[in-house]
């Protein structure tokens, strides 16, 4: 009887020990994967004071969610972009002077191509959430850039036009890369 009892106690201590060991191992694994995750997804996860992801801060909000792979400039597409600018944007933007909105010749020296696209395709959300667009809103007397219902193809043509203007600026002033 005494023997059975002490065997029982040993069994319990043994199982309690094993259970604690298993729990410790699970806890340790949990910690490890927590540590690894932020590194793996650092691009997405990191936020800054404004609460935006790094991508959003650099490239704004809108349908462009990945960095664009831009090939050599296509002059024909750029010429089409110039026409779109004249008909849809020139009511508010000039190339070299402030107007309702900022002068646009050097826009790609202020913002990334992705931001340019997102601003053209989705101005409202950027004006509401993005620090650069908000700053511009204040600078331009709370005049809002309105959505011009530009499709992605036309936005890419506009981008091509501004890439040409940007190239010209860089050639005139090579330090301004």
The per-residue DSSP string of 12-66 comes to HHHHHHHHHHHHHHHHHHHHHHHHHHHHHTHHHH-B-TTS-BHHHHHH-SSS--S
Q: How far is the CB of 94 from ligand HEC (least distance, A)?
A: 11
In terms of CB distance, is 131 or 170 closer to ligand HEC? 131
Kindly indicate which of the ranges 15-23, 45-53, 84-92, 169-177 contains the residues binding ligand HEC, using the contact rule CB under 6 A. Answer: 84-92
Given candidates 42, 48, 50, 146, which one binds ligand HEC under the rule CB under 6 A?
146
* Binding characters for ligand HEC, 25-64, by CB under 6 A (x = yes): ----------------------------------------
| Phi, psi for residue 47 in degrees, rounded to 5 | -120, 170
Q: What DSSP character marks residue 88?
A: I
Given candidates 64, 78, 133, 156, which one binds ligand HEC under the rule CB under 6 A?
133
State the Cα–Cα distance between residues 24 and 18, nearest whole angstrom.
10
Strands (E), 75-132: none
Judged by CB under 6 A, does residue 159 bind ligand HEC? Answer: no
- With vertex at residue 85, the alpha carbon angle to CA 162 and CA 111, rounded to the nearest 5 degrees, is 35
Contacting positions for ligand HEC (CB under 6 A): 88-89, 91-93, 100-102, 107, 110-111, 116, 119-120, 123, 127, 133, 136-137, 140, 143-146, 148, 150, 158
């Amino acid at each position: 009887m005494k023997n059975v009892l002490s065997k029982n106690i040993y069994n319990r201590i043994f199982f309690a020990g094993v259970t604690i060991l298993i729990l410790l191992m699970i806890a340790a694994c949990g910690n490890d994967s927590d540590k690894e995750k932020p590194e793996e997804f650092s691009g997405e996860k990191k936020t800054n004071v404004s609460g935006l992801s790094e991508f959003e801060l650099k490239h704004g909000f809108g349908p462009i969610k990945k960095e664009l792979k831009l090939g050599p400039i296509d002059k024909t597409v750029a010429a089409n972009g110039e026409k779109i600018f004249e008909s849809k944007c020139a009511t508010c933007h000039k190339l070299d002077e402030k107007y309702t909105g900022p002068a646009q010749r050097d826009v790609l020296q202020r913002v990334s191509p992705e931001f340019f696209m997102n601003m053209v395709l989705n101005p409202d959300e950027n004006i509401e959430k993005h620090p650069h667009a908000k700053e511009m809103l204040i600078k331009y007397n709370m005049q809002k850039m309105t959505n011009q219902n530009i499709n992605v193809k036309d936005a890419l043509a506009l981008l091509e036009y501004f890439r040409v203007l940007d190239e010209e600026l860089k050639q005139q002033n090579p330090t301004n890369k």
